[in-house]
Structure 1
Amino acid sequence: MIITNDEIKLFLKKLSFDDDYIEEFIEQINYFEGEAKIRDDIVKSYLNDECIEVITNEIVYELLKLDKTKLTILDVAAGSGFFTKRIKNKLEKKGLKVELFGLDITQSMLKNLRQKGIFSVWGVAEKIKKSIEIFNEHYKTDVPEKFDAVFSTLAFHHFLQPEKVLSSMKEVLIEDGKIIIVDVLKHDYEEFSETLKDTHLGFSKEEINSMGSKLFAKVKVEQLGAYCRVDDKKVHLYKAVFE
């Protein structure tokens, strides 16, 4: 599957984004296209092995609490599939049957996902349902419209409209499903907006709780015993669960 720039723009127009917004998306896509080949190494440079294990185990723990033998899961902004594959492997080792789909906007990241054995879906986090509909129609695939769980790792601060992303995730969640987000807590490193193309400088627990409480009956946000390190700068992480 090769997605050209013209197809990307066509997808975005079908999703009703205006030209200015499309240009912002294209800028993000181009940045992460440049990272795609070394994305796994970049993640490892930000996180030590212990932190990687903490993040993976926290998401697996929440998924196991759904108490099902079969799970249909969507990883939003899955990137290279660094965590996607690890989470799938751990769930399968627990005896679960897992259908795991990775949604991303960057073509080279989608290629990375496929190479890891993850079914990749081109789409925009702010409009997941419509993205899946267009993707299925265009590529004659049968990606589910609803999922038992949706998760996202280290991507929420990149989203242009994070509240819309939460609403979009809820739209493709089954009634008793769960959303899990692991991301960076609010920090003061303004240079990350330029050097790492961070749209937001993380979010506080209170901000995440406020966003989620508008949409979900149950929201739990907690700081994790894990962090990212960029050069000499340490940024702590949180886990948010929405039900």
Structure 2
Amino acid sequence: MLLSVDDVRDFLKKLGFDEGSVNELIEQIEYFEKEAPQRDDIVRDYLREECIETIVEEIVEEILKMNKESIRLLDVAAGSGFFTERIKRKLEERGVKADVYALDITPSMLRRLDEKGITPIWGVAEKIRESIEIANEHCGINAPREFDVVLSTLAFHHFLNPEEVLKSMKSVLTENGKVIIIDVLKHEHEEFKETLKDIHLGFSLEEIKEMGSKIFKKVEARYMDVYCEVGDIIIGLYKAVFA
């Protein structure tokens, strides 16, 4: 899937984003375009191997609770597929057939996903359903309109409008499906907005629960015993599940 910045800009306008939001998203894309070749190594630098394994296991265990032999899974803002690939493999090791798709806004990340055998979808987290329609029409794929599991790992703090993202995730969720989010807890490191292009400085459990309860009937959120390391700064993580 080869998309130029001009293609992306056109698609963003089709999705209804105003000029200011388009420019902000393009700035994020340009940042992650530079990261794409080293993205897997960057994730490893942020997280110790045991933290990576814990995150994957937490997501897989949450999916196994659904007692399904096969699932359709969408990873939103999947990046290079670092976690997507591991989750798919672990599910299949546990006897669950996983039909996995990954949505991302950065063209180079989509190429990395394709190289890993994961079906890439160009799109924006705030408008997943519309993004799938555009990707199916313009990019020659046939992605489903609904998924049993929608997940996002270490990306929620990058979204322009997190509450709209949760609504967007629900719009492509099957009746008994669930949304799983693992992301950074609220912190005070304002410099990350510039150095890492973070939009938000994480979220507290209370903020996540309040946001989710407006949209979902069932909301769970808890601290995880894992963390990210950015230089000498340590940031905790949380897991939230919505159904």
Give the aligned residue type for 2:29.
I
Letter of the structure 1 residue corresponding to residue 156 of structure 2: F
Query: Counterparts of 2:196 and 2:19 in 1: how far apart (Å)?
Result: 24
- Equivalent residue, structure 1, for 2:92: 92
Q: Give the distance between the partners of 2:96 and 2:232, measured in 1 at CA.
A: 40
Q: Distance in 2 between matches of 1:22 and 1:225?
A: 36
CA distance in 2, matches of 1:223, 1:143: 33
Aligned counterparts, 1:37-76, within 5 A: 37-76=37-76
Deviations for 1:86-120, whole angstroms, at most 9, x for unmatched residues? 00000001111110000000000011111111000
* Structure 1 residue 77: Cα displacement: 0.1
- Cα deviation for residue 14 of structure 1 reads 0.9
Q: Find the residue that maps to 1:10 and give its secondary structure.
A: helix
5 Å matches for 1:1-243? 1-243=1-243
Please state whether the residue corresponding to 1:78 is helix, strand or coil: coil
C-alpha distance in structure 2 between counterparts of 1:113 and 1:67, whole Å: 27
How far apart in 2 are the matches of 1:90 and 1:9? Answer: 36
Letter in 1 for 2:218: K
Distance in 2 separating the partners of 1:8 and 1:157 = 21
AA paired with 2:43?
A: V
User: Structure 1, unaligned stretches of length 5 or more?
Assistant: none
Q: What is the TM-score when the length of structure 2 is the normalising length?
A: 0.99
Output the amino acid matched with 1:11.
Answer: F
SS at structure 1 position matched to 2:190:
coil
The CA distance in 1 between the partners of 2:47 and 2:92, in whole Å, is 24
Q: Deviations over 1:137-177 (max 9, x none)?
A: 11232100000010000000000100000000000000110
SS for the counterpart of 1:223 is strand
Per-residue deviation at 1:123?
0.3
Equivalents in 2 of 1:140, 1:51: separation in Å? 36
Q: Provide the alpha-carbon RMSD of the alignment.
A: 0.7
Q: Distance in 1 between matches of 2:209 and 2:61?
A: 20
Counterpart of 2:216 in 1: which secondary structure? coil
Amino acid aligned to 1:223? Y
Shift of 1:204: 0.1
Matched residues in 2 for 1:21 and 1:192: separation?
Answer: 19
Query: 2:195, 2:83 → 1: CA distance?
Result: 23
Percent of aligned pairs with the same residue? 60
SS at match of 1:80: coil
> Which portions of structure 1, spanning 4 or more consecutive aligned residues, are displaced by more than 3 angstroms?
none
Q: Which runs of 5+ in 2 are unaligned?
A: none
SS in 2 for 1:38: helix
Partner amino acid, structure 2, of 1:127: K
Residue identity opposite 1:92 in structure 2:
E
Q: Tell me the alpha carbon deviations over residues 23-68 of structure 1, each in whole angstroms, 9 at most, x when there is no partner.
A: 1110000000010000000000010011001100000011111110
Q: Cα distance, 1:7 vs. partner?
A: 1.1
